[in-house]
Structure 1
Amino acid sequence: MTRAGLTIGVLGSYGGRNLGDEAILTGLLTDLRQQEPHARIIVFSRNPAHTAVAHPDVEAVPWEGVSRTDSALVLSQLDLLILGGGGILYDKEARRYLRVVRVAQERGLPLLTYAVGVGPLNEMVDTGMVRETLAGAVQVTVRDQESRMVLEEAGLLNPITVTGDPAFLLEPEDFPAQFLREEGVPAGKRLVGMSVREPGRAAERLDVDGYHRLLAQIGDFLVHRIDAHVLFVPMERDDIRHSHGVLSHMIAAERGRILHGTYSPQQILGLMRHFDLAVGMRLHFLIFAAMMGTPFLPLPYAGKVFDLAQRLGVPALRGVEREVEGPLLAEVDQLWDEREQRAEVTAQRVARVCDEARGTSQVTRAVLESLRNRSLVEVGA
């Protein structure tokens, strides 16, 4: 091994399907480049072409539908495999990622989980694979307390370090006001950002028509309460359809727009500067709002969103699943009235979570240093 650097593999839900996942990858790669500038990085992607364009300084290879033999050929080139971050270890999905990890471990490749999200884990196959595979990891880091609890309940005995979502490592890019004009958003008006999502496996209990109507009531309330326009921000393609579903139930639908352009995670982070208020379901939409100091109200559909609200000291009602209109509208009203008083405390908590996200770097740094030292010994021998 020369100073050309280590070869590091990164496995996660990457490839352009979800802006939150792409934010995670961007934060993770930025961290790796700062620590190991000469590293050769291979990203296992669901869409290698997308990843190669978004990150031209890495190599992108497929992993879905790839045989064990072909996976082993790529994995044999690595010094380390990083799993995560993001919420990828849950029922039916965990087993897919861990098949690749098991091939790596059979070859003696060290595994590090990078601020990974875990749960729900109720199926025996996934629970067993998570427990057995992560037991062989050199370090296990998770992005929230809920993930640690799920791993402990699954029977993992390894030390588990709680850090923070890699998206907290991003820097915003400018989102010019002209982009908003091109999206049909008028100038000189208060603007509310809203994020909705499809039910999917991560939010199976959501009643589609029910939560569409509930979010429409929130949108109408804000239109009349603060004379605002509402901009729906899709974090993945299916969100566009559900944004239309919410908009179709709004009485003041003429005050709503859906963001249709293609933007990077850093640009969406910059977009948050234009919002007077943000109300949303998607985790990374809320993370972006928090990072930019935009007053926001989470609408939890899963524990990871509720965990973020708790860490940031922001009220969050589980009314999306239960269709509780009154308490949600009251909370939105209170958020608007108290936005300035809450701002400083929220900013302090966001700063702490950003520090926690940088904590993953400390764990990764120790692993990389150990690998470099081992390589030098092998070369010297």
Structure 2
Amino acid sequence: MGYRADQACAEGSGWSDQRRRESVPGCDRAGTVLYYTFVIKLARFYNLPVYLYSQGVGPLHTSFARFAVRSALKHVEGSVRDAESRDLLRDIGVRKDFPVIPDPVLEQYIRTEDEDDWISSQGIPSPVITVSLRDWNGSDHYKKSLAATLDHFSTKGYAIVFVSMHGSPDSQVAEEVSHLMEEKAWISPSFLSLRAKATIIARSELLIGMRLHSLIFAANAEVPFAALSYDPKIDAFARELDQPLLGNINDKKETWDVDKMTSTLEYLLGRADYDEYCDKIGMMTKAATRTAESALRYFRHHI
């Protein structure tokens, strides 16, 4: 038996023609943009209403990718998740204006409970610094400097805990960095629930993160973070909350200066701007609720 959808909603994963290891099957050479724009075009072929749900867009390096996005977004309503996505759509000739509304995950507070507290179950001492890494096109030039930076804080009494957000590939990168460290570190199992992972981050004083959702979990828990960028969406989210970037792993000229990274993290741990950070989180969370409200109004209008 076949089923026919009544509406289509595009959200979350960024539209990009940047090649990556975790690409959509069949789209590894063109990134994710061809897959997602095809789905939208297919929905429009069947006259389904399509809503762009706080979508990230870019980078789009090729003229074909820019054409695919421009064509797909005709007769589509919705929002984008950051100013960079909005500006890119304008630059490639998308006439419809898509308002900026933060990632909807920000409004989804993940309740943390003692039963999910993996840190306590492992007897890990406080205070804790959490680290969320991912593999990215074989980049490894930052790892020695990061390991040395983490060693510095470990000698200052911080427990270093790696959070595997996305399965065994994240755990493998965490193991590579931990093996470069001289001090002890812990790696959380990749099979833990999202609530358990959110709890680990919430129990920490600071997160160093590559995964966007690790940064979002930190923001939800009002935990300061420093980002390791591999994608414009990381830069955009950090910029929205005025949190620092330790560096961009795609930049071969990045120095990964240990003293500079250490100074940045010490500043965050001092929480000089913590109240402003929390205020920004509150404003972004409130704005994120508008995404669901706008989508519901749109679909109700098209029922």
Shift in Å at residue 278 of structure 1? 1.3
Amino acid corresponding to residue 55 of structure 2 in structure 1? V
With over 3 angstroms needed to count, the CA separation of the structure-2 counterparts of 1:120 and 1:364, relative to structure 1, is same
Amino acid corresponding to residue 299 of structure 2 in structure 1? L
With over 3 angstroms needed to count, the CA separation of the structure-2 counterparts of 1:178 and 1:103, relative to structure 1, is closer
Q: Distance in 2 between matches of 1:198 and 1:261?
A: 14
On the 8 A contact 1:212/1:242 being kept in 2, the answer is no
> Of 324, 330, 340, which aligns to 2:256?
324
Indicate the residue corresponding to 2:268 in structure 1: 335
Indicate the residue corresponding to 2:296 in structure 1: 365
For the residue of structure 1 that corresponds to 2:131, the secondary structure is: strand
> Of 228, 247, 261, which aligns to 2:158?
228
Shift in Å at residue 292 of structure 1? 0.5
Indicate the residue corresponding to 1:151 in structure 2: 89
> Of 186, 194, 213, which aligns to 2:144?
213
Q: How does 1:308-319 map to 2 (within 5 A)?
A: 308-318=237-247
Indicate the residue corresponding to 1:115 in structure 2: 54
On the 8 A contact 2:142/2:256 being kept in 1, the answer is no
1:36-61 Cα deviation digits (max 9, x unpaired): xxxxxxxxxxxxxxxxxxxxxxxxxx
Shift in Å at residue 120 of structure 1? 0.8
Q: How does 1:64-79 map to 2 (within 5 A)?
A: 74=3, 77-79=4-6
Q: Distance in 2 between matches of 1:160 and 1:150?
A: 11
Q: How does 1:4-23 map to 2 (within 5 A)?
A: none
Shift in Å at residue 344 of structure 1? 1.2
> Of 87, 92, 99, which aligns to 2:38?
99
Say which structure is richer in helix: 1
Indicate the residue corresponding to 1:59 in structure 2: none
What is the aligned residue count? 285
Shift in Å at residue 78 of structure 1? 2.0
Q: Distance in 2 between matches of 1:128 and 1:178?
A: 47
Shift in Å at residue 302 of structure 1? 2.4
On the 8 A contact 2:118/2:200 being kept in 1, the answer is no
Shift in Å at residue 148 of structure 1? 1.1
Q: Distance in 2 between matches of 1:189 and 1:267?
A: 17
Amino acid corresponding to residue 56 of structure 2 in structure 1? G
Amino acid corresponding to residue 174 of structure 2 in structure 1? S
Indicate the residue corresponding to 2:234 in structure 1: 305
Indicate the residue corresponding to 1:259 in structure 2: 188
Shift in Å at residue 228 of structure 1? 1.3
TM-score (norm 1): 0.70
1:57-81 Cα deviation digits (max 9, x unpaired): xxxxxxxxxxxxx9xx54xx22210
> Of 96, 106, 111, which aligns to 1:173?
111
Q: How does 1:337-356 map to 2 (within 5 A)?
A: 338-339=270-271, 341-356=272-287
List alignment gaps of at least 5 residues for structure 1: 1-69, 201-205, 373-381
Q: Distance in 1 between matches of 2:71 and 2:190?
A: 43
Q: Distance in 2 between matches of 1:78 and 1:295?
A: 41
For the residue of structure 2 that corresponds to 1:87, the secondary structure is: coil
Indicate the residue corresponding to 2:13 in structure 1: 86
Amino acid corresponding to residue 297 of structure 2 in structure 1? A
With over 3 angstroms needed to count, the CA separation of the structure-2 counterparts of 1:369 and 1:133, relative to structure 1, is same
With over 3 angstroms needed to count, the CA separation of the structure-2 counterparts of 1:270 and 1:179, relative to structure 1, is closer
Shift in Å at residue 361 of structure 1? 2.1
On the 8 A contact 2:117/2:196 being kept in 1, the answer is no
1:267-300 Cα deviation digits (max 9, x unpaired): 3223323112211121111111111011222222
On the 8 A contact 1:180/1:186 being kept in 2, the answer is yes
Indicate the residue corresponding to 1:23 in structure 2: none
